[in-house]
Amino acid sequence: MSLELHNLKSSPGSRRAKKRLGRGNASGHGTTATRGTKGQRARQGGRKGLIQFGVKHFVSHLPKVRGFQSFKAQPQVVSLISLEKISQGTTITPELLFDQGLIASVTFPVKLIGRSSKLPAKLIVKVQAVSAGAKASLEVAGAKVELIPASNKGSKRS
């Protein structure tokens, strides 16, 4: 027998009969028709109004976030000790630091910190910020420090 639209049947036991509500007390679902007694949900059309809370209901279930978090991008910090292995005459840029694996992203500003006495001579440093101690160590080693402006790409909002 081929399967056609006129001879389709669901398998026995797969479909449950619909619960017939409000058909007298003898049916077992009379009087309150399984809605309980009183209250908004017992009334006709009572469930609809409860669901429509909107955004206020959603916000009230979120945890309260305390304090303040700035949207200004914080600089990525690189220690001068990590620059001791770089060869002489190298220009240190955020791209070079990213390739070396010292910073996570080129878009955020870079700041050099710390002190080091073993820096190679004739370094050219081009970063967004340098601490006072790092600048003194670089100048003692004979390195040239150039501060480049931070780009707006690095803000947390974008």
Bridge partner residues of 130 (DSSP): 112
Write down the pLDDT at residue 158: 46
Stretch 61-76: mean pLDDT = 87
Q: Read off the pLDDT of residues 83-120 as tens digits, 9 standing for 90 and up.
A: 888 888 889 999 999 999 999 999 999 999 998 888 88
pTM assigned to the model: 0.54
Assess if CATH 3.100.10.10 describes domain 76-154.
Answer: yes
Domain ranges of the chain: 25-60, 76-154
Q: Residue length, the chain?
A: 158
Stretch 27-34: mean pLDDT = 90
| Alpha-carbon separation of residue 82 from 42, 78, 98, 103, 122 (angstroms) | 72, 7, 13, 11, 16
What does the mean pLDDT of the chain come to?
A: 86
